[in-house]
Amino acid sequence: MKKLTYKFSNSSVDYYLAGSIAHLKEIVDKNSAIIITDENIYNAHTKRFKGWNTIVLKPGEEFKVQETANTIIEQLIEMEADRKTTLVGVGGGVITDMTGYVASVYMRGIRFGFLPTSLLAMVDASIGGKNGIDLGVYKNIVGIIRQPSFILHDMVFLNSLPQSEWENGFAEIIKHACIKDAAMFRELESNTLKKYQAKKTAICELVQKNALLKTKVVQQDEFEKNERRLLNFGHTLGHALENQYELSHGQAISIGMTYASHISQQLNGFKETARVVTVLEKYGLPTYASFEKDKVFNVLKMDKKREKSEMNYVLLEKIGKGVIKSIPIKELESIIKGL
Ligand code: ADP
Ligand code: ZN
């Protein structure tokens, strides 16, 4: 199994990108590892967990809370997990976030690694070391930046991934293409979701490309001072929408990217909004949605990216080149309300 090692400020991460869960025992000792997964993944792939200590959680973002962390910690104590234990998160973004969080605080920090099973977790959530939980309406308000020891990919898990989760993953893939990779954007334009789903090698390559693209962005700016902020393309408006409407993360940021393209057009002379919108629609994502501008703007202006009376907004200069622009809140309000 091929291993690539990437260095971050105070740790390094081993990537096994075209791997298999069958190789997990070569990365961690089966006796001292504990897998954390959720019921959907466990039920669809039960035989793959045979012989491993496993904690199975209920699926869903609503369980990404401190109570679940406490339950896991109680089980770890019961299982006599100690400083030599490695936690392995096998799942989507909720599982990787939770695993990294618990591993970072249990006994002041134990080793952890990820086997992301959703497309979104493979290309995004498992990479970059952000681990955390939600409290009430506040997403990821409690957490820590700490890199996993390893990331192992096994495409076999995608066989059971629901269609809506494929679309979610593609929203982040399109985001990566928009901000950093014009060639990948063209590839997405000339392909379809069905083609990627049918062709193992195509999705495998696309996943690797995206995982490495995000890794490089994070390596340059692990603690999100500048470059890493590009990854928030579509997310400022997206998060505000996600909080108030019944939208998946992918759907919300897709609408966010559509509007960010229009803002780019107005402020940055961006000329390719139609291409962005066409690709998003091609991968089953919503673009122009009507929403209550006042209500959403009130949430949006409280975003973490705000600095006093200005908001750091990710815009496109052209496809493949994202830039961060500080926009006065008043101006942003009139642009968004005018769209
Ligand atoms: P994310 O979208 O950030 O990956 P989740 O961890 O909530 O967030 O995963 C999304 C949903 O997809 C969850 O219901 C999870 O159980 C399910 N899921 C993740 N991976 C798989 C898989 N390989 N097969 C079936 N369901 C999966
Ligand atoms: Zn996202």
Per-residue pLDDT of the chain (339 residues; tens, 9 = 90+): 899 999 999 899 999 999 999 999 999 999 999 999 999 999 999 999 999 999 999 999 999 999 999 999 999 999 999 999 999 999 999 999 999 999 999 999 999 999 999 999 999 999 999 999 999 878 899 999 999 999 999 999 999 999 999 999 999 999 999 999 999 999 999 999 999 999 999 999 999 999 999 999 999 999 999 999 999 999 999 999 998 899 999 999 999 999 999 999 999 999 999 999 999 999 999 999 999 999 999 988 887 778 888 999 999 999 999 999 999 999 999 999 888
165 CA from centroid of ligand 1 (Å): 7
- Asked if residue 87 has its Cβ within 6 Å of ligand 1, the reply is no
Of 61, 187, 205, 224, which is the active-site residue? 224
How does DSSP assign 105-157, residue by residue?
HGGG--EEEEEE-SHHIIIIITSS-EEEEEETTEEEEEEEE---SEEE--GGG
Is 130 catalytic? The answer is yes
Residue 224 falls in the annotated catalytic set = yes
User: Ligand 1 centre and the CA of 91: distance in Å?
Assistant: 6
Q: Is 69 in the pocket of ligand 1 (CB under 6 A)?
A: no
Domain ranges of the chain: 4-160, 163-338
Burial of 12: CB neighbours in 10 Å, binned 0-12, 13-18, 19+: exposed
Q: Provide the 10 A C-beta neighbour count for residue 157.
A: 23
Q: What CATH number matches the domain at 163-338, 3.40.50.300, 1.20.1090.10, 1.10.10.10, 3.30.420.40? A: 1.20.1090.10
CB 317 within 8 A of CB 323: yes
Catalytic-labelled residue, pool 228, 229, 262, 305: 228
Side chain identity, residue 25: K
Of 64, 176, 229, 239, the active-site residue reads 239
Q: For domain 4-160, give its CATH number from 3.40.50.1970, 3.50.50.60, 3.30.450.20, 3.65.10.10.
A: 3.40.50.1970
